[in-house]
Amino acid sequence: MYGILEKEKLAPNVIHFKIEAPAVARKARPGQFVILRVDEKGERIPMSLAGWDPARGTIDITFLVVGTSTRKLSLLNPGAGVLNVAGPFGRPAEVEHYGEVVCAAGCFGVGAILPVAAALKEKGNRVVAVMEGRSKAFLFWEDRLRAVSDELVVATGDGSLGRKGWANDVIADLVNAGRRIDRVIAVGCTFMMMECSKATRSHGIPTVVSLTPIMVDGTGMCGCCRVQVGGQTRFACVDGPEFDGHQVDWDLLISKQKSYLDEELRSLNLWERANWHKLMAR
Ligand SMILES: Cc1cc2nc3c(=O)[nH]c(=O)nc-3n(C[C@H](O)[C@H](O)[C@H](O)COP(=O)(O)OP(=O)(O)OC[C@H]3O[C@@H](n4cnc5c(N)ncnc54)[C@H](O)[C@@H]3O)c2cc1C
Ligand code: FES
């Protein structure tokens, strides 16, 4: 059992856990992820590392509650634990000295981008953090993102805080204002990463995205996480999760992410029927 030490509700449906996982914390690098199982009947769910502390033996994850497994996870509290935490998986993020780097994040991606932004800043880059949310209520950890960047720009879909719009609009603003951008890193939902890649493509700004296709084993064995990048088949778990956003076949990725929608909805429906009392007690 991997104990949950801290739980924090960050935004509607976004939760932070600090979990005891000393072996992962010893080896973790920015951009990597873990695969966890909530209980003995649980599926394997990948989660990006939002932080780790080798001395305390802890890791941090931030997650969006979308379906059965993340709903089960969201009901756990400090004192309880998850059955397995395996990892770290994936190639660490590329961290070099590029110059001015935009780190764009939304939703759970705000947690996931923190270690990457911190490492880029430590390498001497000027880090411009861009955070998006549907509204002010969906933004969190501005203080943490500010601490690892030189500049923070906030965008909300409804204009309730910062620029009205999304991360891709902020990137377009920066480009149109003549700002030199040497690299963009986008982490969040697939649509957001696709839009950020579109915003930089015609300007030739290298853009890295952290892909989240459906994964099972996370070790390159099952082939489930296949993505097309630059016309080649790549396995996101071992070749990624970072890829060149201008080379990703986004339509294929989005359609593959919906492959099991019927089964996922059925699973959630059955789980909620059996566990309505746990949801009421929240
Ligand atoms: C490398 C990687 C890192 C990720 N990091 C985070 C993170 O930090 N925070 C976060 O909230 N989410 C993250 N995800 C996505 C997360 O794994 C899924 O949201 C979760 O598995 C959904 O499970 P569910 O049972 O709650 O939802 P379901 O109802 O089973 O699925 C909802 C949707 O989630 C996606 N999904 C389902 N199963 C998987 C799976 N095994 N692997 C990937 N996607 C799946 C599908 O698109 C599906 O339509 C990451 C995914 C990957 C591949
Ligand atoms: S998750 Fe199985 S090959 Fe990547």
Which atom of ligand 1 has the smallest separation from the CA of 50? 8
Domain with 21, as residue range(s), is 2-89
- pLDDT tens profile 47-101: 999 999 999 999 999 999 999 999 999 999 999 999 999 999 999 999 999 999 9
pLDDT score at 129: 98
pLDDT score at 173: 97
Domain boundary residue, one of 55, 89, 123? 89
Q: In testing the pocket of ligand 1, which one of 32, 264, 266, 270 has its CB within 8 Å of the most ligand atoms? A: 264
- Give yes or no for a contact between 48 and 210, defined as CB atoms under 8 angstroms apart: yes
Residue nearest to atom 10 of ligand 1 (CA): 63
What CATH number is attached to the domain comprising 201? Answer: 3.40.50.80
Residue nearest to atom 2 of ligand 2 (CA): 222
User: 152 with 198, same domain?
Assistant: yes
pLDDT score at 282: 65
Ligand closest to Cα of 218 equals: 2
User: 117 with 50, same domain?
Assistant: no
Which atom of ligand 2 has the smallest separation from the CA of 214? 1
Residue nearest to atom 6 of ligand 1 (CA): 47
Q: Give residue 213 CA to ligand 1 midpoint distance, Å.
A: 8
Is residue 174 a part of any domain in this protein? yes
Domain boundary residue, one of 191, 210, 229? 210
Residue with tokens 């986004």: 250
Helix, strand and coil content of the chain, in percent to the nearest 5, comes to 30, 30, 35
User: 160 with 193, same domain?
Assistant: yes
Give the CA angle between residues 254, 257, 259 to the nearest 5°: 115
Q: Is the pTM of this model over 0.85?
A: yes
What CATH number is attached to the domain comprising 38? Answer: 2.40.30.10
Provide the number of structural domains found in the chain.
Answer: 2
Give the CA angle between residues 146, 8, 166 to the nearest 5°: 45
List all residues whose CB is within 6 A of at least one atom of ligand 1: 33, 45-48, 61-64, 66-70, 108, 112, 212-215, 241, 257-258, 261, 264, 268
Residue nearest to atom 3 of ligand 2 (CA): 220
Whole-angstrom Cα distance, residue 103 to residue 208? 10
Q: Give residue 183 CA to ligand 1 midpoint distance, Å.
A: 26
pLDDT-flagged residues of the chain (< 50): none
Q: Give residue 225 CA to ligand 2 midpoint distance, Å.
A: 5
User: 206 with 106, same domain?
Assistant: yes
User: 128 with 202, same domain?
Assistant: yes
pLDDT score at 275: 85
